[in-house]
Amino acid sequence: MRSNIHLALVHFPVYDKTGEIVVSSVTTLDVHDISRICRTYGVSGFYVVTPLKTQQALVDRLIGHWLTGYGAVYNPTRKEALLKTQVKNSLQDVVSDIEQQCGEKPRTIVTDARKFPRNIGYDAMRQEMGKESPYLLIFGTGWGLERNIIENADFVLSPIEGLDKYNHLPVRAAIAIILDRLAGIHR
Amino acid sequence: MRSNIHLALVHFPVYDKTGEIVVSSVTTLDVHDISRICRTYGVSGFYVVTPLKTQQALVDRLIGHWLTGYGAVYNPTRKEALLKTQVKNSLQDVVSDIEQQCGEKPRTIVTDARKFPRNIGYDAMRQEMGKESPYLLIFGTGWGLERNIIENADFVLSPIEGLDKYNHLPVRAAIAIILDRLAGIHR
């Protein structure tokens, strides 16, 4: 199990259905599901990225409920899952936070439903991640990460291939599958 | 990609938090997420199992909205995902339906967060599933499938191992990971 993996769920800048760049809404279920998935695979930190103050407050309240509110007593495994979840204003803030913690900037990894010439496969990525350096997996909500984030990333993972090129996985499911491929114990 | 895989999400009989056998409520998001995951991995049929007529009606209405209602126009990929989703009264009805379609009863596969002496690993299961016969993957909601379902299953998959034995994945995530291990194209 790797502890050098960090994960960001980005709500801005992402595309909407029509190709416009928007701020997508935080889905509280994403926060819960992805926190539990990250805890399962030993991810060091899960960052919910949104510039909207009201949405940041929503995530903070959710985390507070399960960490110190009634939720902590009602469901301690949920508390455990949320211990490493936090909200950040921007992807830049996430990178700075990791740099402060680890003493170096993380290498960034993105995925996209489209194929890119520089796509890296899962086995190769897993091997690369055997190094001590921190890695940041970046996932977009809505209709995907804004183009510049993809272009500036250190690595672009191959898409998850479905039957007949179908690729409309929920982001929650894509994260589970990708972490399992990159950090899972398979036996 | 296999087309001999069927999948059932069971809402009765399952355990609740206190160990009582209950009917859990259908989560509409489960229906959406799992339909999309099943479509990605070419699952032949996804069955939502509940004996409650009101819950059956809820699932039927949801499917109807996306197949023939406004949803079909709004989001055709969602329609495509739900084409093979249906609701059934009981696991027995699911088995009968598959038997009718395929001419033979499916071999049943369950997972559980606990380890069992007869656990089968993912590579071995994937190899076994290379046969032509139909297979039915059975997943429980709530706090897991009632004991007799586990005991009567043909195969019990090894649990997905998390860091420090943490195993509290959402059922949606467990299904994504398990289908990827059993039927995914990894490269």
Q: Tens digit of pLDDT for each residue in A60-86?
A: 999 998 888 777 778 788 788 898 999
Contacts (Cβ under 8 Å, ≥6 apart) of B44: B3, B4, B5, B6, B84, B101, B134
Contacts (Cβ under 8 Å, ≥6 apart) of A181: A122, A126, B180, B186
Average pLDDT value over all residues in chain A: 92
Residues of chain B with a CB closer than 8 angstroms to some CB in chain A: 1, 29, 32-33, 36-37, 39-42, 77-78, 80-81, 121-123, 158, 160-163, 166-170, 172-174, 176-177, 180-181, 184-187
B36 → chain A, closest CA residue: A169
**What's this model's pTM, rounded to 2 decimal places?**
0.94
A36, A39, A161, A163: best to mutate for the B interface, most B CBs within 10 A: A163
Q: Which of left, alpha, beta for A78 (phi over 0: left; psi -120 to 50: alpha)?
A: alpha
Indicate if the pLDDT at residue A1 is higher than 60: no
Residues from chain B that touch A169, judged by Cβ atoms under 8 A, are 36-37, 40, 176
* Contact between residue A143 and residue A15 where contact means Cβ atoms under 8 Å apart: yes
Q: What is the pLDDT of residue A187?
A: 66
Q: Tokens 């455990």 belong to which residue?
A: A80
* Contact between residue B181 and residue B122 where contact means Cβ atoms under 8 Å apart: yes
Neighbouring C-beta atoms of residue A41, cutoff 10 Å: 26
Q: What is the pLDDT of residue B187?
A: 66
Nearest to A162 among B29, B32, B40 (CB): B40
Structure tokens at A145: 């990460």
A174 → chain B, closest CA residue: B176
Q: Which tens digit of pLDDT belongs to each residue from B153-178?
A: 999 999 998 877 788 899 999 999 99
Q: What is the pLDDT of residue B166?
A: 82
B163, B179, B185: best to mutate for the A interface, most A CBs within 10 A: B163
* Contact between residue A99 and residue A106 where contact means Cβ atoms under 8 Å apart: yes
Q: CA–CA separation, B40 vs A50, rounded Å? A: 29
A135 forms bridges with which residues in the sheet? A5, A107
Instruction: Please state whether beta strands A14-15 and A21-22 pair in parallel, antiparallel, or not at all (unpaired).
Output: antiparallel
Q: Which tens digit of pLDDT belongs to each residue from B50-82?
A: 999 999 999 999 999 888 877 778 878 878 889
